[in-house]
Structure 1
């Protein structure tokens, strides 16, 4: 039986083990503790913002961000259609209506022109747009030069869903530093992990501090348990934060390895007619963290759908996945308002993500390339 090649498996070393062991021995087993506080400060420093609150998931971060910005019944939130479901689910948690916008064909990120068109059309209809959420798709920051000032002129808050993009940059600014606030994810397959976890961060101190209160069951600072608001059990545990602190020490190394893996894919697949790396041909202001390497296959060059390509490689124990299925095509959001051009649907039907984990060896990448080429040849 061949060795299975995973898409993006977590890499844990003695560095992380030492941090977690120290946390265990400290006695801080319950949620919160000194590692949580240190982790928040270290991530905020890395991203270049003033405040951060460590949470149970990136979804929790988005939910709290939306609540802080007034999302709720009678409002809508505009966001990309091509994203993981958590982005849209967080909108629904608040009672707001998600409105989906299609992608740029070049990198899959939200189309800024269509995004602003959607905002203006909704407002002309008398709708209240509580916020716009941009998603940094597969580790590449969205076009914030086009989005951020235009929304500021319209008086609409921007949330950056940077769940996939820690370590990426755009125009010299780190992902996670755009908008009114930003969300990170440390899920097990992300660029770095705390097993499960996330973070809400930004320069707006009152916003982050109120989110911190809501994340701790909205407990008031009195000697007994008193609550004036509905809160949530959203805080990160001290042990998971310790794991994150160890991972953060090696983040640059892990990003460097993923970039090297992408280069191997470029050398092996980049000259094939009809094969394109997602992000090629997009603006040069974005510097990816290379969380996942994504390619599309031209249907006119190969009679091969993403479905068949995924099935072909997975039957050889190579974990290849589809790109995110657009939210406006998801059954649960079948009746949602959408502004679409067909770009994300085409990307979904022709694109796949390739194994990209930092612990993959060169010979494993070579095997993926050989199997990919064989699938195209068939």
Structure 2
């Protein structure tokens, strides 16, 4: 409910039963919150009133002009601001009630949870199937092509390559598998150094470590939230001075938006470092008219269940280099040699996508542009609805970019951003809305403690190259990278929120999220 809608639920004890009945009809929530004081808003919660309470009073002969204070006293059943959704539901079930007020430390009503909303979860990014997928999967069953490989796999590869504007593609069991294959094809192995965006999901970095190489993490730039060209230049210069040439660079396109390729590619080309473009989150995006996933020597996509299109699980490795993709196909089918028997000269993997799932993917590709338009519309509705909220900055769409808005993300700025972020996430979860923090950067992850990290900008007057290592503890002041004033990815994580962004969200769900975010942010101000 909107902030003003919640205020309308609050009523003073001197209000008449007649006024309470009219307020119940107007608010249509089935409950009012009787609070001390004359304004019915700022005082301590005294009790709740339902239409049942008013009916019983009328049957007992209480005059309609009588104040609410004449009703039998019932201490309210409430929860505090730290209560979880489970706590609320347990209280509802124990007392067979459908509404639970939330009170602050002073006992003032600040929120209301209803059973109805607890039965209607809003997901962050749920799968959205079209009309063709069932028929394509049925075709796979009818033809008995249900194992890995088959005509749907061939078709999916060809259709995605054409959509992205590359010549070759290999369908894999996951985006992570595609990343692993891509790094191996670029020759990454023990002792190598690989540059990697820090603000990303851990799957971008894990294959580097699993191949025995060492990741060096690169900060984001403030506008697009993707890899900072300034930080990349500093990393390349520092490593070059130390006689190190990175074997590859994993450049992530975050939350449906391409990185600044016009700035990043020349730096990598000059240093002789091939790019593996992690476009797992950005299928359907473009950068100055060129599709995301068409910039790197190799690029990967993900079709996990939460992505803009899905095969339930799957990925794709793409390139204009036919030899690389041919080698990828061989490695992904256990690297079997073309012999009558099972002959192997190198180790391979079971990484190919099944024909059944590829059928789903082909159907999903047909509705990709619709899904992009829907997610962009979700973002725009959020942006407009929350335009007046101070200290809230949306992930920008810089000139030349077309983002899919796979996830609608914003950052809360200013002091105490992380505490306010967590309070908002708790508030939304209490109302059965799934929202998430922005990715925790890799240089703050315990798994990568001690790895080198290059920030967007060093501390002013800081002598020496702008690089740091993260202490083992990634959280709190003690874990801040040494000597930094502009660690962009850390700030984005500490204040960043990803809202429900599914292309299948209903108008009512989108409005509900807008109202709850506004109410949750206002609540922080009230209870500060």
Q: Return 5+ residue gaps in structure 1 as ranges.
A: none
Select which of 486, 494, 499 maps to 1:349.
494
CA deviation profile, 1:101-134 (whole Å, cap 9, x unmatched): 1111222111111112112211221224100110
Matches within 5 A, 1:1-378: 1=115, 2=117, 3-279=120-396, 283-300=398-415, 305-340=420-455, 341-378=486-523
| Aligned-partner Cα distance in 2 for 1:125–1:74 | 15
Contact 1:274 1:301 in 2 (8 A): no
| Aligned-partner Cα distance in 1 for 2:388–2:273 | 43
The structural deviation recorded for 1:214 is 0.6
What is the SS of the residue equivalent to 1:129?
A: coil
TM-score with structure 2 length normalisation? 0.70
Deviates more, 1:58-67 or 1:293-302: 293-302
| Aligned-partner Cα distance in 2 for 1:277–1:224 | 57
CA deviation profile, 1:262-308 (whole Å, cap 9, x unmatched): 1111110123221111125xx31111011010011223598952211
| Aligned-partner Cα distance in 2 for 1:311–1:273 | 20
Bigger CA radius of gyration: 2
What is the SS of the residue equivalent to 1:182?
A: strand
TM-score with structure 1 length normalisation? 0.97
Contact 1:302 1:376 in 2 (8 A): no
The structural deviation recorded for 1:251 is 0.7
| Aligned-partner Cα distance in 1 for 2:418–2:209 | 38
| Aligned-partner Cα distance in 2 for 1:271–1:305 | 17
Contact 1:305 1:349 in 2 (8 A): no
CA deviation profile, 1:211-253 (whole Å, cap 9, x unmatched): 1111110001111110000001100000000000011111111
| Aligned-partner Cα distance in 2 for 1:312–1:150 | 44
| Aligned-partner Cα distance in 2 for 1:274–1:301 | 11
| Aligned-partner Cα distance in 2 for 1:277–1:355 | 14
The structural deviation recorded for 1:54 is 0.1
| Aligned-partner Cα distance in 2 for 1:377–1:304 | 14
| Aligned-partner Cα distance in 1 for 2:215–2:421 | 27
What is the SS of the residue equivalent to 1:119?
A: helix
Counterpart for residue 62 of structure 2: none
What is the SS of the residue equivalent to 2:263?
A: helix
CA deviation profile, 1:58-115 (whole Å, cap 9, x unmatched): 1111111111111111111001110000000011121110110111122211111111
CA deviation profile, 1:9-36 (whole Å, cap 9, x unmatched): 0012332111111111110111111100
Relative to structure 1, the CA distance from residue 369 to residue 214 in structure 2 (aligned partners, 3 Å threshold; closer, same or farther) is same
Q: RMSD between aligned alpha carbons?
A: 1.3
Of structures 1 and 2, the one with the larger relative CO (CA 8 A, separation 6+) is: 1
| Aligned-partner Cα distance in 2 for 1:250–1:285 | 24
| Aligned-partner Cα distance in 2 for 1:30–1:367 | 43
| Aligned-partner Cα distance in 2 for 1:339–1:251 | 36
The structural deviation recorded for 1:339 is 1.3
Deviates more, 1:195-204 or 1:263-272: 263-272
Relative to structure 1, the CA distance from residue 44 to residue 227 in structure 2 (aligned partners, 3 Å threshold; closer, same or farther) is same
Aligned residues: 376
